[in-house]
Structure 1
Amino acid sequence: MSHSNTTDFTNPSTFILLGIPGLEAAHVWISIPFCTMYIIAMMGNFTILFIVKMEPSLHAPMYYFLCMLAIADLVLSTSTLPKTLSIFWFNSREIDFSACLTQMYFIHCVSMMESGIFVAMALDRYVAICDPLRHSTILTSPVVAKIGLAIVLRGSMIVLPFPFLVRQWPYCRTNIIPHTYCEHMAVANLACADVRVSSYYGLFMAFFMSSLDLFFIALSYTQILRVIFSLPTKDARLKTFGTCVSHICVISASYIPAFFSFITLRFSHNVPLHFHILIANLYLLVPPLLNPIIYGVRTKQIRDRLLRLFTIKGPKVFSWCSGSHTQLHAKPSSLNH
């Protein structure tokens, strides 16, 4: 029997995603907020991309980095939620082995890219506030493009060992993953091999790389705060700090759920499995949902452009309706003459 199991799962063609074990009866109800958050995230991030593209005054480094973040959010949420919803709605639990590895790669790769984007945004704020006269000469379009390329290459290369390690291991236990998506350690734990290398590399990536990014962000904001507190008036200090609030809120919305999910998954063994999985889903859904809302509310240029879109359309519709109304009333009088 054991030999049969080994031959069955040494090279599994598919994995089975269970969704949220223990909450199967509530899958349909859980899908409602998940789907709502996904739709809002898609609409919000596409709106950010549209506004930045259509408004020439927003063609600046800060908004280019914001567009990179919006694209990363779209890829991150789309790589997981459609499959999660198919599990909840249609009980479609099978996922191809290669598709599983691809999903795993994109989740961790894009998460690492987002961390790099936050560092780039902190650099932009640092130059804009600490050396404003040289901002346009330091962060030129070619420099921004090179930074974006470096972010993509770093995220792509650092995460590359994950799918390669997972692919080469034998699977002789089961092909059932107690999760809604192919999370790295959830798949690695199914292998009949010593997966400590993968576990240690995951810890290195989560703590060392993320901590390094946070260090550079903190260093930038330390210099920014020094400049802000040296400004002569309170209004100037508040106005300058206000340009950084959106970035700080977005960083908090991204890092806090991610670290909380990572810590509870690895170190809180008394926490129920369904709680782990819910948190793991929320940390992939909440930042893409909040980022466009935070920037839409906090950034005056984006807020003004968005309001202008609605206020321009409104009068046009009203004038067309009133014009049509006048013509309807004018016709009978002309007929009488």
Structure 2
Amino acid sequence: MQEKPLCIRVGHLLPYSMSDSNTTDFTNPSTFILLGIPGLEATHLWISIPFCAMYAIAVLGNFTILFIVKREPSLHEPMFYFLCMLAITDLVMSTSTLPKMLSIFWLNSREISFSACLTQMYFIHCFSEMESGILVAMAFDRYMAICNPLRYSMTLTNSVVAKIGLAVVLRNGILALPYPFLARQWPYCRTNIIPHSYCVHIAVVKLACGDIRISSYYGLFDLFSVIGMDVFLIAVSYTLILRAIFHLPTKNARLKTFGTCISHLCAISALYIPDFFSSFTQRFGQNVPLHLRVLIATVYLLVPPVLHPIIYGLRTKQIRGRLLQLFSRKET
């Protein structure tokens, strides 16, 4: 009769080697090995170039948004406060993954401690969903500005904006906690090699030798309850917004009013489309090549942080004007 593999709690490190990583007597590791993008190791250096460029754009763009809003008193309004929250979230989400990813691509530094892996997992899920919550707040801002303009300043006071921001942080901070706690409790007795470029929840728990259905079910519950609810609230907001726009008397008024929502709609698309595609390919895309699934999940983390400052920088008149002023001063 075949012996069952020995599984103990995390805390002991076995010396890593590719030859024994899949043996049945493997015990729980204190470090994991991130492969980067499996199957594309030979091109890691080339892949790192666009990733590094995108990270630089994300950091520079989001810091620019924060700098301009802080320096310009006319931008101290609810919409721009929410935009600053979005910029901070983008910075944290990209910085929690890209530096380690680039160290894999450039230095072949693949090891990550179990605690660091769980911490990265928490930050990824917490801040990606925090972005969704902030987009809901921004949809409410657009609803108030278009449907109830006379009550806008009385409703969205600084105190209310701060409470909304706090609610978003608490909601997603709490709901992301089960991910690392569930991942910590499973026994790992197969391998410590994560076929991914960062510690995403589903890729880590798939290495466990126990029944991980609770982790899988919670991931789906979180996806549909948090992201699903946020998408529903945004859809309701824009249904009311569109109804108000269609009641405007002239075509120019309708186009001008709808134009104030374009930036927000682009930001929504930049987050939700890659998010849903990545989540479902990770869980149900067994026929999709592994390297393509990992590449999609990796790009997903960079798309919103890169596109959000570009979208709002180009589409928002106040930010664009302030940027032009800064560059014109430098030239003179």
- Shorter-chain TM-score bucket reads over 0.9
Say whether the 8 Å CA contact 1:38–1:289 is kept in structure 2: yes
Richer in helix (by share): 1
Q: CA RMSD in A?
A: 1.4
Counterpart CA distance in 2 for 1:264 and 1:155 is 23
Question: Which of structure 1's runs of 4+ aligned residues deviate more than 3 A?
Answer: 1-11
Shift in Å, 1:2:
6.9
| 1:250 maps onto 2:264 in alignment | no
- Aligned-partner Cα distance in 1 for 2:97–2:65: 21
* Partner residue in 2 for 1:314: 331
Which residue number in structure 2 is paired with residue 158 of structure 1?
Answer: 175
Q: Find 2:312's aligned residue among 269, 272, 295.
A: 295
Q: How does 1:118-133 map to 2 (within 5 A)?
A: 118-133=135-150
Note if contact 1:6-1:173 (Cα within 8 Å) is conserved in structure 2: no
1:25-40 to 2 correspondences below 5 Å: 25-40=42-57
**Contact 1:258–1:283 (Cα < 8 Å) also in 2:** yes
In the superposition, the TM-score normalised over structure 2's length comes to 0.92
- How far apart are the structure 2 equivalents of 1:59 and 1:279? 36
How many pairs are equivalent? Answer: 315
**Cα distance in structure 1, aligned partners of 2:72 and 2:183:** 45
Q: Distance in 1 between matches of 2:40 and 2:27?
A: 30
In structure 2, the partner of 1:278 is: 295
- The aligned counterpart of 1:116 is 133
Equivalent pair of 1:5/1:173 in contact (CA under 8 Å): no
Distance of 1:261 and 1:233 partners within structure 2: 41
Q: Give the gaps of 5 or more residues in structure 1.
A: 316-337
Which protein has the larger Cα radius of gyration, Structure 1 or Structure 2? 1
Deviations 1:29-61 (CA, angstroms, capped at 9, x unpaired): 000000000000100000000000000000000
**C-alpha offsets along residues 175-233 of structure 1, whole Å, 9 cap, x if unaligned?**
11000000001110111211100100001111222111011001001111111111111
Give the distance between the partners of 1:311 and 1:108, measured in 2 at CA.
40
Structure 1 residues 310, 2: CA separation in 2 closer, same or farther (over 3 Å shift)? Answer: farther
Q: Which amino acid aligns with 1:263?
A: F
How much identity, in percent, do the aligned residues show? Answer: 72
C-alpha displacement of 1:21: 0.9
* Aligned mates of 2:167, 2:227 — CA distance in 1: 16
Letter in 1 for 2:65: I
Q: Which runs of 5+ in 2 are unaligned?
A: 9-13, 15-25
Shifted more, 305-314 versus 149-158: the winner is 305-314
Contact kept, 8 Å, 2:202 with 2:282, in 1: the verdict is no
The partner residue of 1:199 within 216, 229, 233 is 216
Instruction: Report the TM-score when normalising by structure 1.
Output: 0.91
Q: Could you say if the C-alpha distance between residues 25 and 54 of structure 1 is closer, same or farther in structure 2, counting changes exceeding 3 Å?
A: same
The offset of 1:170, in angstroms, is: 1.2
